[in-house]
Chains A and B, each alone.
Chain A
Amino acid sequence: MLKVNGLSTYYGNIQALKGISMEVAEGEIITLIGANGAGKTTTLMSISGIVSSRQGEIFFLDKPIHAMSPDKIVSLGISQVPEGRRIFPYLTVAENLDMGAYLRSDTENIKKDMAYIWDLFPILSQRRHQAGGTLSGGEQQMLAISRALMARPRLLLLDEPSLGLAPLVVKQIFEIIKKINTENNTTIFLVEQNANMALKIAHRGYVMENGVITMSDSSRNLLCNEAVKKAYLGL
């Protein structure tokens, strides 16, 4: 479904990604783990077209997307929940969701999807007229995921959804991610520092160090791998 081929990205003279390649198949949950500054966020931002890649190719459903503008990429079916959630603080919860459906014009289905979200997260429904900035961290993460779902993505990119959340909330968020994958058959590309949690729900995983993919295997094998255990699982 998604194919990244020898992707290199630069910030000025600093090379953030050094020719990475990866592949995501339809219906999978893929995780990309790595330390701070390894290039995980840059990878997602390159796929979404926010950071322009200097070399390499990205294909989505066999279409080259590495030269496309971000809005075209969204319209093809790739949505991102960025690091830090980035809720619009002065828009209401409902307006934040409206923004998620920005490129859609099928009013009836948008209403249905909105109802589905209220059902999935009753707490958001209670706060629908509240400004997004007044929500707690966990609620904001729910809203950020919901907002991305409003675009009806085929591939959902999630950047550190567990960041700064209480363990109980983290568990809840991961359950929802799994549910989105199984119920809607949405393919998920999950970037995480919480390698343990991520590998437990993912089918396959990539390990990234200093802008290079150093390992790629099934989640089960990665969980047992000595090097991964030592570096990312704290065992």
Chain B
Amino acid sequence: MEYFLELFMGGLTRGSIYALIALGYTMVYGIIELINFAHGEIYMIGAFTALITASVLAVMGVHQFAIMAIAMLAAIVYSSAYGFTVEKIAYKPLRHAPRLSPLISAIGMSIFLQNYVLLAQTSDFLPFPSLIPDFKFLEPYSNYLRPTELVILLTTAVVMVFLTLLIKFTKIGKAMRATAQDRTMAMLLGVNVNRVISTTFVIGSALAAIGGVLIASHIGQINFFIGFIAGIKAFTAAVLGGIGSIPGAVLGSFILGLTESFATGYVSSDYEDVFAFALLVLILIFRPGGLLGKSTTQKV
């Protein structure tokens, strides 16, 4: 039972991180129908920013909680700036181009950012400081719930609630949904579509940065390549749940995270990816639009 709980919590943790990244994929796809392949790199840049900030602050002897908060904030701001700029440079000029062009541009951006970090930093794994303290009250449950896992789950839950409120009730949230459903009509009502698209990239990047910092302090090491793998997994989760759907991305992420965790625990860690992608194939056979995806039937 304890082993099961350990795997379950591990799965939820993975799912949370996937969800934080997958939301960026799905929101961007919802608005401009682009798979932003550079999104994983934004997550990686978030982790690196936090690492650098935390290292500097640690040398200065700042309190651990303050380090955590400032590093997280720095990562969010820095990653958001990257997301914003990537959209302006790599996607906006191609908005009226055939759909393949921005896709290639996204792949190019992903390779560029990876190599930029590789050159600016190093190709080795760098140790990431554990920013999250060992909570005393968690000791009785330490066999299956680590402090970092608890923080990841709670942070993700809070972020999801905020995102839901933002999308549902604020002006910009409504504008985002309207733009996703009919861009021309949104323009006719006075929505500045460029600003909505930029906002979407900024929000998605901020979420990815949060995920990057959390998982880095959970695992304890990062390198320039973490964004690629996490990005592919989160993208899989977004497709699993139905790309373009926000609840779908979250559901898909948790299903993927739990599947991987149980496959690793009960079968073998070698089969982690096999199970993850077999699940994707199975779901797409029966529901081509993903679990919560909209039906893609088109009237001709």
User: Contact residues of A with B, CB < 8 Å?
Assistant: 48, 50, 69-71, 74-75, 79-80, 82, 86, 88-91, 95, 98-100, 102-103, 147, 151
Contacts and interface: CB of A to CB of B under 8 A. Distances in A.
A99 B189 CA distance: 7
A88 B187 contact: no
B95 interface: no
A233 B188 CA distance: 31
A82 B188 CA distance: 9
B187 A71 contact: yes
Interface in B176-202: 177-178, 181-182, 184-192
B224 to A, nearest CB: 39
A151 B189 contact: yes
Given A48-B188, A75-B190, 7 more contacts: A50-B187, A71-B192, A74-B188, A82-B185, A88-B177, A99-B189, A103-B190
A88 B182 CA distance: 7
A102 B184 contact: no
A86 B181 CA distance: 10
A206 to B, nearest CB: 22
Contacts of B185: 82, 86, 88
Contacts of A90: 177, 181
Given A91-B174, A95-B174, A102 B181 contact: no
Contacts of B175: 99, 102
A102 B190 contact: yes
- Lowest 3 A-B CB distances belong to which pairs? A74-B190, A103-B190, A86-B185
B299 interface: no
A71 B190 contact: yes
A69 B178 contact: no
Contacts of B191: 71, 99, 102
Chain B interface secondary structure, helix, strand, loop or mixed?
A: helix
Contacts of A95: 174, 177
B188 A69 contact: no
B136 interface: no
Contact of B184 (A86, A99, A103): A86
Given A91-B177, A99-B175, A102-B171, A70 B182 contact: no
Interface of B: 171, 174-175, 177-178, 181-182, 184-192
A99 B187 contact: no
A82 B177 CA distance: 19
A154 to B, nearest CB: 14
Contacts of A48: 188
Nearest to A104: B190
Contacts of B181: 88-91
A10 B281 CA distance: 45
Contact of B178 (A82, A91, A103, A151): A91
Nearest to B188: A80
Contacts of B171: 102
Nearest to A133: B181
Contacts of A86: 182, 184-185, 188
B167 to A, nearest CB: 12
Contacts of A82: 184-185, 188
Nearest to A69: B192
Contacts of A80: 188
Contact of B190 (A70, A88, A89): A70
Given A88-B178, A90-B177, A151 B190 contact: yes
A20 to B, nearest CB: 21
24 contacts: A48-B188, A50-B187, A69-B192, A70-B187, A71-B190, A71-B191, A74-B188, A74-B189, A79-B189, A82-B184, A86-B182, A86-B184, A86-B185, A88-B178, A88-B181, A88-B182, A88-B185, A91-B178, A91-B181, A99-B174, A99-B178, A99-B189, A99-B191, A103-B190
Contacts of B174: 91, 95, 98-99
B189 to A, nearest CB: 5
B187 to A, nearest CB: 4
Contacts of A100: 189
A80 B190 CA distance: 10
Nearest to B185: A86
Contacts of A74: 188-190
